[in-house]
Amino acid sequence: MTPGGRRLGAVLGRSLRPPLGDARFWLIQSLVILIAVAFWASVVSGRWQLSVFWGGELLALFLLPVVYAALNFGLAGALATAVWVSVLSLPSVPMAGSAERASSTVLEVLLFLAVALFVGDRVEREIILRRDAEAARGAMRQSEARGRSLFENSPAATLQLDPDGAVREANPAAAALFGRGRDDLVGAALADLVGAEPAAAIGSGARPVIELPGGDGERRFLRPVVSEGPGAGAFQLVFLDVSEERRRLGVKDAYAASVVKAQEEERARIAQELHDEPLQTVVHLYRLLDRLATAPDGRPDEVRRGLGE
C-alpha cells in the first residue's frame, strides 16, 4: 500500500471511532440538536434568515459545534458532528423555496464536512505529536529513574565527574570506599582521591589497577571503568573491586615461587653431593696409600685389609 493509501486508511479508521464515552461529546451533539430545532422552526415558518452569522444564514450556526468538536476530539469528533449536522439539515433541501436556497444549503453542509476534515486532521496531528512527546518524556523519565536507581544501589563505587576531573556526584558505595561523606566528595579532584599518576592514566584511557586502603584496614585493589556521563564532556567512573582476584594471583605466585625454590634447593643438594662424594673418595684413597707406604715390610695381612677398605 502506498503512503497516501495508508494515510487515507488511518484517517478513515480514526473517523469511525467517535468519543462516545465522553460527556462533552454529547453536550456538543445536544447543541447541534438545539440549533437544528431553531433551524427547522425557521424552515417550517418560512423564515430562513437570522442576521447573526455569514449573511444571516441560520444554518451557519452549525459551524460552531463542528469546530468545537474538532478542537476537543480531533478528526473523529469533528467528522461525527459534521455527519450529524448533515443528517439534520439536508432533508430541508427539497423544502427550499428556490434552487439558489437549495444549492446554498448543500454548499454549506459540504463546507461543514470540509472544515471538519481539515481542522480535525490538524488537531489530530497535534494530539498525536503531543501524545508521542509525552510518551517519549515518560520513557525518558523512566530511563532516568532506572539509571538513578542503579547509581544509588550499585555495590561498586561510582563517581560522576566533570570534564576537569572534579566529582559532581558520588554514590553511597563511593562514600564508603573513600571514607568521606557524599557532600564532601562533591567538588573533590580525582587526583586527590586516587593519586596523580592513576588519575592521569585514567584520563588517558588506561585502566590501571589502583591500590587504596580499605575501611577495615586491608588494602583494596580497584580497576576503574570509564563511561560517558550525563552532560557535555562529563564521564562516569566505576571502580571494580579486583582484590579477591589479586589475592588469588598472589597465592598462585607464592606457590609457584615455593616450587621454584624447592627445585633450586634440590638441584643444589644434588650438585653438592656429586661434588662431595668423589672428593671424599679421593681423600680416603690418599690416606690409605699413605698408610700403606708407611707400613713396615712383611705385613701382607694389613695391606690386604687396607685394600679391601
Based on the fold, state whether residues 36 and 131 are members of the same structural domain.
yes
Q: Residue 217 is which amino acid?
A: G
Based on the fold, state whether residues 47 and 122 are members of the same structural domain.
yes
Residues forming a β-bridge with 138: none
Based on the fold, state whether residues 174 and 127 are members of the same structural domain.
no
Based on the fold, state whether residues 131 and 261 are members of the same structural domain.
no
Q: For residue 57, is it left (φ>0), alpha (ψ between -120 and 50) or beta? A: beta
Residue 208 lies in a domain: yes
Question: What was the pLDDT predicted at 103?
Answer: 79
**Residue 206 φ/ψ, nearest 5 degrees:** -80, 165
Q: Is 243's pLDDT higher than 80?
A: no
Based on the fold, state whether residues 179 and 274 are members of the same structural domain.
no
Helix (H) or strand (E) holding 225: strand 219-228
Question: What was the pLDDT predicted at 293?
Answer: 63
pLDDT digits (tens, 9 = 90+) for 61-101: 788 888 888 888 888 888 888 888 888 888 777 776 667 76
Buried b (16+ CB within 10 A) or exposed e, 23-41: eebeebbebbeebbeebee
- What 3-state class would DSSP assign to 286? helix
Based on the fold, state whether residues 206 and 94 are members of the same structural domain.
no
Which residue is associated with the grid cell 671424599? 280
Based on the fold, state whether residues 269 and 166 are members of the same structural domain.
no
Structural domain boundaries, residue 177: 155-241
The count of structural domains within the chain is 3
Question: What was the pLDDT predicted at 49?
Answer: 46
Instruction: Give the dihedral sign, CA 146/151/152/155.
Output: positive
pLDDT digits (tens, 9 = 90+) for 249-277: 655 545 555 556 666 666 666 666 655 56
Based on the fold, state whether residues 182 and 301 are members of the same structural domain.
no
CATH number at residue 184: 3.30.450.20
Smallest CA-to-CA distance from 143 within 225, 227, 230, 226 is with 230
Smallest CA-to-CA distance from 112 within 65, 152, 48 is with 65
Residue 150 lies in a domain: no
